[in-house]
Chains A and B, each alone.
Chain A
Amino acid sequence: MNWGGLLLVMILLSSLVPGLIIFALPEKSNRPRTVLNLGGALFKLLLILLMNVGIYQGRHFTVRWQLLPGLELLLNSDPLAALFSTLSTVLWLLTTLYAVGYLEQSPNRRQFFGYFSICVTVTVGIALAGNLLTFLLFYELLTLTTYPLVTHRGTREALAAGRVYLVYTLSGGAVLLVAVAWLQVLAGPVEFGGPPVAASLGAAHEGQLMALFFLFIAGLGVKAALVPLHGWLPRAMVAPAPVSALLHAVAVVKAGVFGIVRLVHDVYGTQFAAGLNLLAPLTILASLSIIYGSLCALREDDLKKRLAYSTVSQLSYIVLGVSVAGPLAAIGGLVHLVHQGLMKITLFFCAGNLAETLGVHRISEMRGIARRMPVTMAAFSVGALGMIGFPPMAGFVSKWYLGMGALAADRLWVVAVLVVSTLLNAAYFLPILIKAWFTPPDCSWSEQGGRGRVETRWMLLAPPLLTALLVIAVGLLANAQISPLAWVKLIVGLEYGP
């Protein structure tokens, strides 16, 4: 194995090993567990930075493990992999910090943090997967490792949600398995990053390739929560806040969307897929999800559920951007992969703070809550305004590029979808902000104790504050050389040519 390959394996091991050790530690040893968690997260971040520097210098890391001839696992560091793995690693570090604070007194932390670490290993594995088989491996493992997190509370409701979650994701996984096996029969092992294999198959297989594309979308769409496959997502809200944050920003939903990006860019190739008229239905599906998700969000009074439906809507921006088949829209979509993650994780951290500190779960209970928790609500506002697309925040950059891309591709109705969606975003986020900031508090909430010197424990306060700052930073500094936007432009440049 070469040094670059070792780096990739180390990136996976840096969270897998702490996870396994955590399982072996007794429940009571909190300090070693926290040290392991944060140490592992920091070490992983360091390794990821190393990898990014390497990619910047034009190096390319791969590692292969052959199961059988023609059947091998491949880890690969292309810029898209770097984008997603960096996002996962940064947000994992913050979420770990948050989770340590959040679960301070709750039982079964060993199980929680054990699965938590392994879950991140798997997510980064999805990012680094260099061929379809490896992607499938980690994609399926993600289902297994997130299930115990979703059902962590062990209540009847949590178990029911877990069952729905498994039914959806396992069926999706089975469909994906068939699709991957079928494509492998047609084209041999499918590696990412080279010329798209589907395009090279020629006209004889066009019918099969078209059927396969929809099979892939059906398999990946479950985790990506495309309407009508989104049913599990709002129910999975019973999970503890850090899990919801991770699920919605990085782990599960992003895995599905990332798979769709891989499918369009690396397996089919945008030009080829557009040539087969495969992308237009995807655009329509994404638009439907955007509008439907927002409409559902309007109806919900439960804060986390509203955020969940908002995820359904916002995720489809990414799919929309990829499916419009133009470089500008693709930039908008891919950069939203990062931006949506930052904004959504902020919102969920804040929702968790409200629930943990004041026992507030519903929007109707949030009257004047900003006076009691100004910092949390400030972070929440940044996330919400970003989602709506106020400049100069992250969401604005995404929407700007998406809109420009739609115009460039002559799809005026996509622009209309974006406008309607923005109005709907405003319609379900602004009332929360108005209620929190501008109505007098009725102080009906119950203090849950554990109040620190500031409005809540610093471990709960620091992560949303940091991510909120990031939301502003990636928007303001979008043109800086190391911003997500610059990185995404590099990726799209590779796909569409300079």
Chain B
Amino acid sequence: MADAAFWAICLVVAPLFFAISSFVRGGLAHVFGPLAAWLNALAVLGLTVSFARSGPLRYAIGGWQLPLGINFRIDGLCVLMLAMTAVTGLAVSMYALGYFSLRIGSARQMSRHEQQRLFFWPLWLLLWAGLNGLYLSSDLFNIYVTLEITGLAAVSLTALSGKPAARLAALRYLLVSLLGSCSYLLGVALLYRCYGILDMAALSRLVSPGPLLWCGLALLTAGLLLKTALFPLHFWLPPAHANALAPVSAILSGLVVKASFYLLLRLWGEVFAQVLPPAAYVLLGALGCGAVLWGAAQALLQKRLKMLIAYSTVAQLGYLFIALPLIRLDPGPAARQAVVLLILSHACAKSAMFMAAGSIFLKAGHDRIADLAGIKEVLPVSSFAFVLAGVSLMGFPPSGGFVGKWLLLGVSLAGGQWWWGMMLVTGSLLAAGYVYRVASRLLVFKAPFFSRRQAIPPVMEWSAVLLAVLAMLLGLLAGSPLELLAAGNQVFSPAGLEVLR
């Protein structure tokens, strides 16, 4: 059995290789893409198994040790994020396989569809390589590179739809993404000026409060907040996520925003946790509350299904930020576990939701919520997937969202800061409201639904359902992933740091 380092290298190299292959040999893209998805899942499985056996690990790329070289750091959080990307990515890839095999509309539409297929796979695999690299890297500059790859690939995927609205959204997304990256890069430069090293674990030992650190950290954080679309910086997200193609929406909402939040979690939860003042966490938490309220209120008002889901993402991201002050508050692992569970379960549920909505869009020819009543008759599986994913977004037991919310509620009550907990509960009630808006129309049966004759391939319906079921069961199975998280936490002091001394 190969060791964890081998699998980690595979996780970056394989998607890149297949991205290039599927670009060069476009005719085989629909073979290369799913193949890469399965191989990626295999590699993550291998990585998880060897991680569970041998624990956290640092790997110096090319044998170059720390002050000079770039390190991969494999710990519990990293493995979980990779696993999330692998599972969700696999489901989306299967969905995309069905999506791009559809024969739709006129010859002109068909040729555009073909064009989209040719570009989708290379871009998606490139994005995937960027995400895997980001989760594995321990070096802030290397992370900048992966962040940029991810961002540019995501923007191109958004533009793929070709509709004017999508192009406009993609342009805005591009500007935001570049601005965010620039801000991040400036922050990284300042930090490098201060400490002469960019490895996260090393930085966590070295940092001391000071004006340069504050500036650097503010720039880093601002860039990442922009990319994570925290209220009130979320303006770009709903149009971009709502106007993209269905598999792209699932990728953007389920995976891409998680990457920049993951970095915030690393920086605020680990690297700079010792020096940051509590008030800063409270500020982010307060913005999170704003996101929960604003996102949900907007979702309640939307007329189009995909816009509703996109605003729901804004609201759900708010939960993650509410968890930040609680991580600070909590002496134990509970808040940290909770935020990871929320990330995982939102990735599954939101992707499933966008996938189901995509099928519904194709079948109905529109996504006006008011006119969707009765679609259950023609699309039972996707309707069920949508409702199930919605239920898990509401944080209903036994979903992963429920366990996460429960843990955070416990932390907030135990720590005497009950208002965070109340916000979470209010948020779930609001979520119930906007899910209900759709579910009440999807579940009801009435006169036969007038739909296109478009047949939705079973793989599209079932990949959404499986992902939604996974989100729902995540609460019951939460024990083992969180054990992995704990395994990485205990031994956070990295072996590679010894070189530094």
Where the two chains meet, the residues of A that have a C-beta atom closer than 8 Å to any C-beta of B are 65-68, 71, 73, 107-108, 111, 136-137, 140-141, 144, 148, 151, 154, 159, 162-163, 166, 170-171, 174, 177-178, 181-182, 184-185
Contact = CB atoms under 8 A, between A and B. Distances in A.
B42 interface: no
A154 B376 CA distance: 13
Contacts of A171: 429
A162 B440 contact: yes
Given A66-B479, A178-B425, A71 B406 contact: yes
Q: Among A67, A141, A181, which residue has the most Cβ atoms of chain B within 10 A? A: A181
Contacts of B446: 154
A163 B414 contact: no
Nearest to B429: A174
B41 interface: no
B397 A136 contact: yes
A281 B482 CA distance: 44
Contacts of A68: 337, 403, 407, 478-479, 482
Interface in B426-479: 428-429, 432, 436, 440, 443-446, 475-476, 478-479
B391 interface: yes
B413 A181 contact: yes
Contacts of B479: 66-68
Nearest to A166: B436
Contacts of B475: 67
A181 B421 contact: yes
Given A148-B443, A166-B436, 20 more contacts: A67-B403, A67-B479, A68-B407, A68-B478, A68-B482, A108-B445, A137-B398, A140-B396, A154-B444, A154-B445, A154-B446, A170-B432, A174-B429, A177-B406, A178-B422, A181-B406, A181-B410, A182-B413, A185-B410, A185-B414
Contacts of A140: 396-397
Contact of A144 (B391, B410, B425, B476): B391
A177 B443 contact: no
Nearest to A111: B445
Contacts of B422: 178
A71 B479 CA distance: 10
B94 interface: no
Contacts of A166: 432, 436
A171 B429 CA distance: 7
Question: Which bracket fits the contact residues of B?
Answer: 20 to 34
B476 A65 contact: yes
Given A163-B436, A178-B421, A151 B444 contact: yes
B241 to A, nearest CB: 27
Contacts of B413: 181-182, 185
B409 A178 contact: yes
Nearest to A148: B443
Q: Which 3 A-B pairs have the closest CB atoms?
A: A137-B397, A181-B409, A185-B414
Interface string B65-85: 000000000000000000000
A462 to B, nearest CB: 30
A137 B403 CA distance: 11
A204 to B, nearest CB: 15
A173 B116 CA distance: 46
A182 B415 CA distance: 11
A394 B421 CA distance: 46
A159 B429 CA distance: 19
Tell me if B's interface is mostly helix, strand, loop or mixed: helix
Nearest to B411: A185
B417 to A, nearest CB: 12
Interface string B269-300: 00000000000000000000000000000000
Nearest to A141: B397
A148 B391 CA distance: 14
Nearest to A158: B444
A178 B412 CA distance: 11
Given A67-B403, A68-B482, A181-B406, A159 B425 contact: no
A182 B444 CA distance: 37
A107 B445 contact: yes
A225 B37 CA distance: 52
B421 A67 contact: no
Interface in B28-58: none
30 contacts: A67-B475, A67-B476, A67-B478, A68-B337, A68-B407, A68-B478, A68-B479, A71-B406, A73-B476, A111-B445, A137-B397, A140-B397, A141-B397, A144-B396, A148-B443, A151-B443, A151-B444, A159-B444, A163-B436, A163-B440, A170-B429, A170-B432, A171-B429, A174-B429, A177-B406, A178-B409, A178-B425, A181-B421, A184-B410, A185-B414
A144 B241 CA distance: 29
A229 to B, nearest CB: 16
B416 to A, nearest CB: 10
Contacts of A163: 436, 440
A166 B436 CA distance: 9
Contact of A177 (B409, B414, B445): B409
Contacts of B398: 137
A151 B439 CA distance: 12
A374 B307 CA distance: 58
Contacts of B421: 178, 181
A174 B440 contact: no
A174 B337 CA distance: 22
Contacts of B410: 181, 184-185
Contacts of B476: 65, 67, 73
Interface in B335-354: 337
A66 B398 CA distance: 13
Contacts of B429: 170-171, 174
Contacts of A154: 444-446
A181 B479 CA distance: 19
Nearest to A136: B397
B69 to A, nearest CB: 38
A29 B289 CA distance: 50
Most buried by A among B391, B403, B444, B446: B444
